[in-house]
């Protein structure tokens, strides 16, 4: 999607290995979010950022960490991947707190942990 890219698009990794997903935006938006999408659960928030070096936990943050050292990049790290973290991961950006103009989503990263 325009203004936001996720990498990689697909990844297969082994249990116990660390994995980092990247979200890059060119919109200069303040707010960035990481969600995971699983069948039967919809989208669940993992972590979000409200500015450079300002991050907070979402509802399913265990096993994940994030970093935002500059406005355009928001990294999601699975510290030691487990099979339960097999999912599709979406990054989203917003210019305002409540998403008044809507969130813009990336195309997703499909992660498989074997």
Partner 1 sequence: SQQGEEDPQALSIQEGENATMNCSYKTSINNLQWYRQNSGRGLVHLILIRSNEREKHSGRLRVTLDTSKKSSSLLITASRAADTASYFCATDLLQGAQKLVFGQGTRLTINP
Judged by the rule CB under 8 A, the positions of this chain that interact with partner 1 are: 1, 31, 33, 35, 40-45, 48, 50, 56, 58, 90, 92, 97-108
Nearer to partner 1, 17 or 56 (CB): 56
Which DSSP category does 57 fall into? Answer: E
Q: Measured between alpha carbons, how far is 64 from 23 in angstroms, rounded to an integer? A: 15
CB of 11 to partner 1, least distance (A): 16
The string of DSSP letters for 98-110 reads T-TT--EE---EE
Angle at 17 between CA 56 and CA 83, to 5 degrees: 80
CB of 8 to partner 1, least distance (A): 15
Nearer to partner 1, 80 or 98 (CB): 98
Nearer to partner 1, 3 or 18 (CB): 3
Tokens of 88: 């599709």
């Amino acid at each position: 999607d325009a203004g936001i890219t996720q990498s990689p698009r697909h990844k297969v990794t082994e249990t116990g290995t660390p994995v980092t997903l990247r979200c890059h935006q060119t919109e200069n938006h303040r707010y960035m979010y990481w969600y995971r999408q699983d069948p039967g659960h919809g989208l669940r928030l993992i972590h979000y950022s409200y500015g450079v070096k300002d991050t907070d936990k979402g509802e399913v943050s265990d096993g994940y960490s994030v970093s935002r050292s500059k406005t355009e990049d928001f990294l999601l790290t699975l510290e030691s991947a487990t099979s339960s973290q097999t999912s599709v991961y979406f990054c989203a950006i917003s210019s305002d707190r409540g998403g008044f103009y809507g969130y813009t989503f990336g195309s997703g990263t499909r992660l498989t942990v074997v």
